[in-house]
Amino acid sequence: MFLIFHLLGVALGVGGAYTSDVIILTALRDHRLSKNEYVILHRAGYVVIFGLFLLIASGVGLFLSDPQGYLASTKFLTKMIIVGIVTVNGCLLHLYSLPLLKRHLNKHLLKEKTFQKDIPYIILLASISVTSWTSALILGALPRIPISIESAILIYLGTILAGFIIGNVTYAWRKRMHGG
């Protein structure tokens, strides 16, 4: 039973996070966030929160079924670090990014100086979100991982860094192409 709720939590978390990230990236590409996009973004955030709650609650149930086995698993420990990071990142997205985006609804983002300085942070949080949820999904699907926790976390952090760099370079290029 815990496994079913765990998988449902992952599905909701991944789906809500991907939806949110697509909306944010679309707004950055279009240089505008509409009220309708914001409403969907806000609701997708609640889907992520519910998914994360299911994931953690069912994860506790799964863990209690075999604590020694889970604590000996590199995959499990790596996944716990990533779930911790996705939880903190989700809080930052809700406390920082959503209010920032709401203040700039229907404004041309390239012309908003107060918004421009925050673009790297938004891209970083989005990179952490998509990388973390994807990593948790992949780790959950694998029977085990053949590398150390340190190696797995370095790969994870490298993927976040690559997403952050690609996101910022792409945004800077689009901004330059549109005379921003």
What does the alpha-carbon distance between residue 86 and residue 132 come to, in Å, rounded to a whole number?
Answer: 6
pLDDT at 42 over 60: yes
Domain count, the chain: 1
Mean pLDDT over the full length of the chain? 91
Read off the pLDDT of each residue in 168-172 and give the average, rounded to a whole number: 85
Q: How confident is the model at residue 82 (pLDDT cuts 50, 70, 90)?
A: very high
pLDDT at position 178 is 67
Output the pLDDT for position 119. 87
Burial 117-152 (b: 16+ CB within 10 A, else e): eebeebbbbbbbbbbbbbbbeebeeeeebeeebeeb
Q: CA torsion angle for 20, 21, 24, 28 (degrees, to 10)?
A: -170
pLDDT at 128: 95
pTM beyond 0.95: no
Across residues 81-107, what is the average pLDDT?
A: 91
Q: Which residue pairs from 158-163 have beta carbons closer than 8 angstroms and sit at least 24 positions apart in sequence? A: 159/131, 159/135, 160/124, 160/127, 160/128, 160/131, 160/132, 163/126, 163/127, 163/130, 163/131
In sequence order, the 6+-apart residues with CB closer than 8 A to the CB of 174 are 28, 29
User: How does pLDDT run across 105-143, given as a tens digit for each residue?
Assistant: 888 877 788 788 888 898 899 999 999 999 999 999 999
Task: Give SS3 for 107.
Answer: coil
What pLDDT does residue 171 have? 81
Q: Could you tell me the residue range of the domain that residue 79 belongs to?
A: 2-177
Q: Positive or negative CA dihedral for 107, 109, 113, 116?
A: positive
Mean pLDDT of 148-172: 93
CA atoms within 13 A of residue 56's CA, in its CB half-sphere: 13
Q: Phi/psi of residue 72, each to 5°?
A: -90, 0
pLDDT over 70, % of the chain: 98
pLDDT at 35: 93
Among 42-51, 75-84, 105-114, which stretch is predicted with the lowest mean pLDDT? 105-114
Q: Please name which of 126, 121, 118, 104 lies closest in space to residue 34, comparing C-alpha atoms.
A: 104
Mean local confidence (pLDDT), 166-175: 83
> Tens digit of pLDDT for each residue in 12-29?
999 999 999 899 888 878
Helix H or strand E encompassing 34: none
pLDDT the model gives residue 117: 86
